[in-house]
A and B are shown apart, each in its own frame.
Chain A
Amino acid sequence: MREFYVYGFRSREEFTQKSARSYDDEHRRIGSWLGDYMEFRQTSEGKNVFLSIDSRLLCHNPLYQAWKAKSFTAGDVTLHFLIFDILHVPENALSLNEITDEIDIRLRDVKNPKTYDSSTVRKKLNEYVKAGLLCTEKQGRALLYSRAPMTELDCADALDFFTETAPCGVIGSFLLDKTGVHDEHFAFKHHYITQALDSDILCMLFDAVREKRMIAVKTINNRKEETETGWIVPLRIFISVQSGRQYLMAYVPEIKKTGSFRLDYILSVRCGNVCEAFDEYRELLDRMQKHLWGVSTQGARGRIEHVEFTVRYGDGEEYIPLRLEREKRCGRVERLDAHTSRFSADVYDAGEMVPWIRTFICRIESICFSDKKLEEQFKQDIESMYRLYGVDGGDAK
Chain B
Amino acid sequence: MIFSEWNGAYYNAVAGILKAAADHPVTKEEMRRIIDEQAFSESILSIEPSLSGGKWQLLKEDGTAAVRYPPTMPLTLLMKRWLKSISLDPRIRLFDFHVSGLEEIPPLFTKDDIYIFDQYADGDPYEDPLYTENFHRILEAVRNHSPLSLEVMNRRNNRTRMNVMPEYLEYSEKDDKFRLFTSGCRYGSVVNLSRIISCRPFHGDCSGYRQRPPATSGKRVVIELLDERNTLERVMLHFAHFEKEAERIDEKHYRVTIRYSRDDETEMVIRILSFGPFIRVTEPAGFVNLIKKRLRMQKSCELQ
Interface residues of chain A, those whose CB is within 8 Å of chain B, are 5-9, 28, 31-33, 35, 39, 41, 43, 45, 48, 50, 52-57, 65, 67-72, 74, 76-78, 80-82, 84-85, 88, 106-107, 109-114, 131-134, 147-155, 157-158, 161-162, 164-168, 170-172, 174-175, 177-178, 183, 185-194, 199-200, 203, 206-207, 209-210, 222, 236-245, 249, 289, 292-295, 312, 322, 325-329, 354-356, 358-359, 361-367, 379, 381-382, 384-386, 388-392, 397
Contact = CB atoms under 8 A, between A and B. Distances in A.
B40 A33 contact: yes
Given A9-B246, A9-B248, A191-B241, A155 B95 contact: yes
A162 B86 contact: yes
Interface string B53-90: 01111111100001111011111111110110110010
Contact of B121 (A32, A81, A327, A390): A327
Contacts of A114: 57
A358 B41 contact: no
Given A43-B247, A239-B117, A107 B66 contact: yes
Contact of B118 (A39, A154, A236, A240): A240
B240 A165 contact: no
Nearest to A147: B74
Q: Is the interface of B mostly helix, strand, loop or mixed?
A: mixed
Nearest to B248: A9
29 contacts: A6-B237, A8-B245, A32-B40, A33-B40, A52-B244, A54-B243, A67-B3, A68-B9, A70-B3, A85-B67, A110-B59, A112-B54, A133-B73, A134-B74, A151-B100, A152-B100, A152-B101, A164-B171, A166-B85, A168-B82, A177-B38, A188-B171, A189-B171, A190-B172, A209-B113, A240-B118, A244-B240, A326-B122, A389-B288
A111 B66 CA distance: 11
Given A43-B247, A57-B216, A206-B108, A171 B82 contact: yes
B246 A77 contact: no
Contacts of A322: 122
Contact of A236 (B113, B240, B243, B245): B113
Contacts of A107: 57, 66
B202 interface: no
A199 B2 contact: yes
Contacts of B4: 70, 131
Contacts of A77: 5, 10-11, 14, 56, 58
B8 interface: yes
Given A9-B247, A187-B171, A361-B295, 4 more contacts: A50-B246, A148-B74, A238-B116, A388-B280
Contacts of A178: 12, 73
